[in-house]
Amino acid sequence: MDVSARRAFNLLKELAYVRVSGTEAEKKAAERLLEEVKSCGVEARIEEFTVKAGKVNKATLKVTKPYVKEYEVTGYERSLSTPEGGLDAEFYYAENLLPVHLQNCKGKIVLINGRLRRTDYEKLQQAGAAAILTFSGTTLDRISETDCDIRKLREMLTDELGFNVALNMRAADAAEIVRRSATEMHIEVESECFDATSRNVCAVIPGKEFPEEIISFGAHYDSVHFSTGVYDNMSGSVIIMELMRYFAAHQPARTLKFNWYGSEEQGLLGSKAWVEAHKDELDKHMLMVNVDVAAATLGSNYAPVLATEGVVGYVDAMMKEAGIPCKVELDIYSSDCIPFADQGVPAINLCRFGPQGAGYIHDRRDNLRSGYLDEKALDITLQQGLMLAKRLDSAKVFPIERKISDDIKKKVDEYLFKKK
Ligand SMILES: [Zn+2]
């Protein structure tokens, strides 16, 4: 049996629905992936893990001075609720949170630019903001064609820094509020926090020559709100399914594991849980190959490597030898490779990025109707993955040193906010 981009793309079409962490839809996708694995006669199971989840039942924002107008907002999942009757406070636009801004945040509803990064959240908590406002999208967005993004106060923020009230709004509305010099507003948030279950789908094909040497292939199958996640990352999920089919029919020399991770979009929670649950076998893991985003018709191939310059040279040479154009670089990648590299397992990512205007991610445009993905483009990464997998699996001596360069270690630590 050979790999088939058509079959892969058909499975992608079947799973082209919103699959947010800890939801029924994510569970349904996991079950479908498991069924597909089992239909190839491969041993597999679902491994559950708990995620901190939240639901916002009500979120409103009304400017009360010097004019009165209500704006569309979404509450961050796991936001604090406002007191009974809501919260009335002064509004302050703190831009990029410079010291001058921070001096003015206390007790106010504070709007900032961009995403709520951990460093920003820390500053806002210390400055005593009464509530946090972020905006998403662009000032050009048409309401009928865009969504007001739903975000989450991740554990990464709340565990150490505590909870706060957090809301998100549209960029055009945020601009209007600032332009019209809003000074006071009324907000209401009713939010619940709870534990939810997310899942990794895990398959194993034992090796016949070097069963103690493990190569794992990974791809996350969850999506964010409003996004059907066909590009990010059902494309990668169906690619590793094809690789698994190939090795189900051609027994590998080494033990190959195939993992479809849940909850990647919430902070790599699936791969973190997997690594934690499989700690005792990690010293046998020679390499992790992660596929996250592919199938973009207009695009380019990129392979960030979390290992050493030696591995970069090796992968780069293999791509050239096979005539596959691919930019190979020593760098981290914000995906499930991180928890592996953190445990000393080298990782290679295979990605095909759509360029600006033809690579939509993390919103409703990541959808088959957007016309930016196709099976021929998916085949590029599929063939790349197959070439890499066959070469590595059949190597007489495993060619990748089990080592992570100091530069990558440092970047991984920073990514995971590890204290020095
Ligand atoms: Zn992704």
Average pLDDT, the chain: 97
Q: What is the pLDDT of residues 163-206, one digit of tens each?
A: 999 999 999 999 999 999 999 999 999 999 999 999 999 999 99
230 φ, ψ (degrees, to nearest 5) = -80, -40
Structure tokens at 94: 């703190």
Q: How far is the CA of 108 from the centre of ligand 1 (A)?
A: 35
Residue 100 scores a pLDDT above 70: yes
Q: How far is the CA of 303 from the centre of ligand 1 (A)?
A: 14
Q: What is the pLDDT of residues 288-299, one digit of tens each?
A: 999 999 999 999
Residue 63 scores a pLDDT above 60: yes
Q: What is the pLDDT of residues 397-407, one digit of tens each?
A: 999 999 999 99
Q: What is the pLDDT of residue 118?
A: 94
Q: How far is the CA of 200 from the centre of ligand 1 (A)?
A: 15
Q: How far is the CA of 206 from the centre of ligand 1 (A)?
A: 28
Going by pLDDT thresholds of 50, 70 and 90, the confidence category of residue 418 is confident
Residue 75 scores a pLDDT above 80: yes
Name which of 119, 105, 59, 56 is nearest 86 in CA terms.
59
Those residues with Cβ within 8 angstroms of residue 409's Cβ, 6 or more apart along the chain or in another chain = 341
- Alpha carbons 60 and 75: distance in angstroms, whole number: 8
Q: What is the pLDDT of residues 262-303, one digit of tens each?
A: 999 999 999 999 999 999 999 999 999 999 999 999 999 999
Query: Identical fold at 5-52+196-415 and 67-182?
Result: no
Q: What is the pLDDT of residue 364?
A: 96
Q: How far is the CA of 91 from the centre of ligand 1 (A)?
A: 35
Q: How far is the CA of 264 from the centre of ligand 1 (A)?
A: 7
Residue 61, SS3 per DSSP: strand
Q: How far is the CA of 189 from the centre of ligand 1 (A)?
A: 30
Q: What is the pLDDT of residue 420?
A: 56
Class in CATH terms, 5-52+196-415 = alpha beta
Residues with CB under 5 A from ligand 1 (ion): 232-233, 292
Q: What is the pLDDT of residues 216-228, one digit of tens each?
A: 999 999 999 999 9
Return the CATH architecture of domain 67-182: 3-Layer(bba) Sandwich (3.50)
User: Tokens 């019209």 map to which residue?
Assistant: 180
Sequential DSSP letters for 131-200: EEEEEES-TT--GGG------B--HHHHHHH----EEEEEHHHHHHHHHTT--EEEEEEEEEEEEEEEEE
Q: How far is the CA of 233 from the centre of ligand 1 (A)?
A: 5
211 φ, ψ (degrees, to nearest 5) = -60, -20
Mean pLDDT of all residues in 338-342: 98
Report strand pairing: 73-75 vs 166-170. Answer: antiparallel
Q: How far is the CA of 257 from the centre of ligand 1 (A)?
A: 19
- What ranges do the domains of the chain cover? 5-52+196-415, 67-182
Provide the percentage of residues in the chain whose pLDDT is more than 90.
Answer: 98
Going by pLDDT thresholds of 50, 70 and 90, the confidence category of residue 335 is very high
Name which of 107, 113, 156, 112 is nearest 127 in CA terms.
107
Q: What is the pLDDT of residues 195-218, one digit of tens each?
A: 999 999 999 999 999 999 999 999
CB 77 within 8 A of CB 56: yes
Q: What is the pLDDT of residue 255?
A: 98
Q: How far is the CA of 236 from the centre of ligand 1 (A)?
A: 9
Q: What is the pLDDT of residue 359?
A: 94
